[in-house]
Chain A
Amino acid sequence: DTEVTQTPKHLVMGMTNKKSLKCEQHMGHRAMYWYKQKAKKPPELMFVYSYEKLSINESVPSRFSPECPNSSLLNLHLHALQPEDSALYLCASSRGGLAGTDTQYFGPGTRLTVL
């Protein structure tokens, strides 16, 4: 299995809602990532988990809360978002650690619209 899967594909939420994005991989990878991508822009790194520990947090607002329940799963909890948070949220995974070969494989993304 060489796929990263994400659910849901689309999400529309109000500014007072609480929702979660989910990501899953079964490649045995030990690093997982959340990126935010606005239209016509490159993906921007939000969070990196390495061996289930948060290793990079790019000063993302606290209304985004990541969670890594185990090495195959990555969640992004959303609360009190703003309309400018509307974007494509991409999950990725890579082998991670000191083994090198850190190719990142992306999921299909969740297109989020905040009303």
Chain B
Amino acid sequence: GENVEQHPSTLSVQEGDSAVIKCTYSDSASNYFPWYKQELGKRPQLIIDIRSNVGEKKDQRIAVTLNKTAKHFSLHITETQPEDSAVYFCAASISGSNNNDMRFGAGTRLTVKP
């Protein structure tokens, strides 16, 4: 099955700096890569996703890049704000099939210091 590794496990940045979180996956058939933000005591919320036919996607301060050859994808947050502090999970799955099996990375605890 799919195995997703995520680094770093914790990340502390100053407000206004950028944050980068990296993930690798093992199954070359995976074609859908979402990123979830989970605040303490709350549900995981989708913040951005990318499919394997795209190399990069951006939504305001958040961007995701995908390197299919190397089987890794990254989350970039620019101009970080204290409200960006949360745990971020990457995930990988095979979209467009009846196998709806999504695997998560271990998570990155991001702290943005004011």
Interface on A for B, CB 8 Å cutoff?
A: 31, 33, 40-45, 48, 50, 55-56, 90, 94, 96-109
Q: Tell me if B98 and A98 are in contact (CB < 8 A).
A: yes
Interface on B for A, CB 8 Å cutoff?
A: 32, 34, 36, 42-46, 49, 89, 93, 95-107
Q: Tell me if A55 and B34 are in contact (CB < 8 A).
A: no
Q: Tell me if B107 and A48 are in contact (CB < 8 A).
A: no
Q: Tell me if A108 and B104 are in contact (CB < 8 A).
A: no
Contact for B89 among A42, A55, A56, A103, CB less than 8 A: A42
Given the known A-B contacts A41-B106, A41-B107, A102-B95, are A48 and B43 also in contact in the complex, defined by CB atoms under 8 Å?
Answer: no
B interface: dominant SS:
loop
Q: Tell me if B42 and A96 are in contact (CB < 8 A).
A: no
Complex A-B, nearest 4 residue pairs according to Cβ-Cβ distance, in ascending order: A100-B96, A42-B104, A102-B95, A106-B43
Kindly list chain B residues whose C-beta atoms are within 8 Å of the C-beta of A109: 43
Given the known A-B contacts A41-B107, A42-B89, A42-B107, are A102 and B43 also in contact in the complex, defined by CB atoms under 8 Å?
Answer: no
Kindly list chain A residues whose C-beta atoms are within 8 Å of the C-beta of B42: 108
Given the known A-B contacts A50-B98, A55-B98, are A102 and B93 also in contact in the complex, defined by CB atoms under 8 Å?
Answer: yes
Q: Tell me if B104 and A43 are in contact (CB < 8 A).
A: yes
